[in-house]
Amino acid sequence: MKVLLIYPKYPDSFWSFTHVLPFIKKKAAVPPLGLITVSAMLPATWQKKMIDLNVTPLQSFDIIWADYVFISAMYIQKESVIKIIGECQKHETKIVAGGPLFTQEYMDYPQIDHFVLNEAEITLPLFLEDLSSGKTPERIYQTKEFPSLNRTPVPDYHLLSQKDYVFMNIQVSRGCPYSCDFCEITTLLGNKVRMKETRMVLKEMEALYDLNWRGPVLIVDDNFIGNKHVVKNELLPAMKKWMVAHKYPFTFNTETSINLADDEELLNLMVETGFKSTFVGIETPEEMALQECNKNQNKNRDLLESVKTIQRAGMQVSGGFIVGFDSDTPSVFQRQVDFIQQSGIVSAMVGLLNAPKNTQLYKRMEAENRLTKNATGNNTDSSMNFIPKMNYHDLLAGYHKIIHDIYDAKPFYNRIRQCLINYRKPGVAYRKKEYKYVKGFVKSVLILGFVDKGRLEYWKLLMWILIKKPQHLIDALVFTVYGYHFRTVYGLRT
Ligand code: SF4
């Protein structure tokens, strides 16, 4: 059997980092982990080809070669999915689809032959069994069960063109113990945190190491510290030991809930293991909105101080912010700007509230007759899929003001300064690997220091760094390139 695995293209968005990639001669930020994991579950005798459209264009002869095309996609890749389906139909190649987009919205794709939905550890073997027994496979394979991750194989990392990616990625756990009402993670993966055994995580790190990967590794978990006890007492000590033994070949980036700040021992262990940054869902500094969306872990705490605690421990913090809650008033826009600026969160993703399918928020909006369409999954396209309480035009104007007030060159460079004041640079050995992008840094100085309209603020920042924080020069240069991407995505460069 010949299988073509296709990963659809991402549009230009906050997380695509499209405008950073040319500086460092990369084509995509992260590889399609779900698809290469599914690939590793296919029979060893099958021939497999992988095409990530973010890296390689799709050619007709690849589709003609294949008996089946496998697609995995998220909401944000919808547009590319439609094009892939069209190409496959043209060549009459059967499609098997899975991943979050199809698990939530398979009914919108009548052209697709087979759906392997939810988690592939359960549904893919059923499809394969039917196929090998000579039966015509069912159209839909679904399950309400959540599998143990001990059945998950090491992903087929060898199918990737490593040099084209900024990060490699691994998954350690699925599920989240919290229940934020706008979040689809718990609908898709459950409230119980399921972790891979520590030996399996080490095996994946070893696989990347053996393929000669050196550099950043994204741990894609939605909440890496969902099971704090195991992470702190088993996983991290083993990862740290491995990292020391292998002379810190990787740096780790991940996503955690804000209560990471409450556990100094855990924080220090993460830093000593090589964790460089974490994304935290802050959402809003408004207590009523946190109450409304059931973000209990963020309530009744000094959120600003929590962010600073993580930064002081030696990890950079990126964050998600939302406006459009029912309880939001016009003062929320300035409150968000003030919080983001004071926190020194350089990569602050601010979005309008949306209700993805099957979430608690979706159900509430449906009951209140406020739904208007499906969520796009793109946090930067200014869309909402329900009628907000605040006048939509006021909400949109306030949202755009936040974006301007945090991403225009002056406030953005000020925020880098704030970040570097808060952040304590850890002394672990991985830092030296940052110098491999030196050519990219030179290019960034030429563009941001001489061409970009924010060049005056750029030089002011560089002078400040060289005088006050020379040890942070590389971090600052990386942040300035992020800023170039964000200003481009938000249309603030003209
Ligand atoms: S903490 Fe994050 S992953 Fe967990 S439910 Fe809330 S938004 Fe979703």
Judge if 180 and 110 occupy the same domain.
Answer: no
> What CATH code is carried by the domain that includes residue 24?
3.40.50.280
Listed in sequence order, the residues at least 6 apart from 282 whose beta carbon sits closer than 8 Å to its beta carbon are: 258, 298, 303, 307, 319, 320, 321, 339, 343, 345
- Which DSSP helix (H) or strand (E) runs through 473? helix 473-489
Closest by Cα among 344, 351, 224, 221 to 284? 351
Judge if 7 and 120 occupy the same domain.
Answer: yes
Judge if 118 and 21 occupy the same domain.
Answer: yes
Q: How far apart are CA 150 and CA 148, in angstroms?
A: 5
Q: How far is the CA of 247 from the centre of ligand 1 (A)?
A: 33
Asked if residue 58 belongs to a domain, the reply is: yes
Asked if residue 442 belongs to a domain, the reply is: yes
CA 223 to ligand 1: nearest atom: 3
Q: How far is the CA of 178 from the centre of ligand 1 (A)?
A: 6
3-state secondary structure of 312: helix
Strand order in the sheet with 275-283: 168-170, 215-219, 250-255, 275-283, 316-323, 348-352
> What CATH code is carried by the domain that includes residue 281?
3.20.20.70
pLDDT for 435: 61
Task: Indicate the number of domains in the chain.
Answer: 3
pTM: 0.95
Q: Which of 106, 141, 176 is the last residue of a domain?
A: 141
Asked if residue 422 belongs to a domain, the reply is: no
CA 257 to ligand 1: nearest atom: 1
Averaged pLDDT for residues 90-110: 96
Judge if 291 and 388 occupy the same domain.
Answer: yes
**Cβ(317)–Cβ(310) under 8 Å?**
yes
Q: Which residue minimizes the CA distance to atom 6 of ligand 1?
A: 180
Residues with a CB atom less than 6 Å from ligand 1: 176, 178-180, 183, 185-186, 222-223, 257, 281
Asked if residue 261 belongs to a domain, the reply is: yes
Listed in sequence order, the residues at least 6 apart from 469 whose beta carbon sits closer than 8 Å to its beta carbon are: 420, 476
Give residue-wise pLDDT tens across range 17-66.
999 999 999 999 999 999 999 999 999 999 999 999 999 999 999 999 99
Judge if 295 and 241 occupy the same domain.
Answer: yes
- For strand 194-195 and strand 114-116, is the pairing parallel, antiparallel, or unpaired? unpaired
Judge if 397 and 270 occupy the same domain.
Answer: yes
Q: How far is the CA of 56 from the centre of ligand 1 (A)?
A: 33
Q: How far is the CA of 114 from the centre of ligand 1 (A)?
A: 30
Judge if 181 and 228 occupy the same domain.
Answer: yes
Question: pLDDT at residue 433 above 80?
Answer: no
Judge if 96 and 185 occupy the same domain.
Answer: no
Asked if residue 161 belongs to a domain, the reply is: no
Judge if 178 and 118 occupy the same domain.
Answer: no
pLDDT for 439: 80
| Residue 484 structural domain | 429-489
Judge if 129 and 272 occupy the same domain.
Answer: no
Question: pLDDT at residue 429 above 60?
Answer: no
Say what percent of the chain tops pLDDT 90.
Answer: 92
Judge if 44 and 14 occupy the same domain.
Answer: yes
Give residue-wise pLDDT tens across range 438-493.
788 888 999 999 999 999 999 999 999 999 999 999 999 999 999 999 999 999 97
Mean confidence (pLDDT) of the chain: 95
Q: Which residue minimizes the CA distance to atom 8 of ligand 1?
A: 183
Judge if 302 and 335 occupy the same domain.
Answer: yes
In order, the DSSP letters of 113-179 are SEEE-S-HHHHHHHHHHHHHTTPPPPSEE--S----GGGPPPP-GGGS-GGGBS-EEE--EE--S--
**Cβ(123)–Cβ(116) under 8 Å?**
yes
| CA 352 to chain CA centroid, nearest Å | 17
Closest by Cα among 257, 256, 251, 255 to 271? 251
Residue 345 has a CB neighbour count (10 Å cut-off) of 26
Question: pLDDT at residue 324 above 90?
Answer: yes
Asked if residue 271 belongs to a domain, the reply is: yes
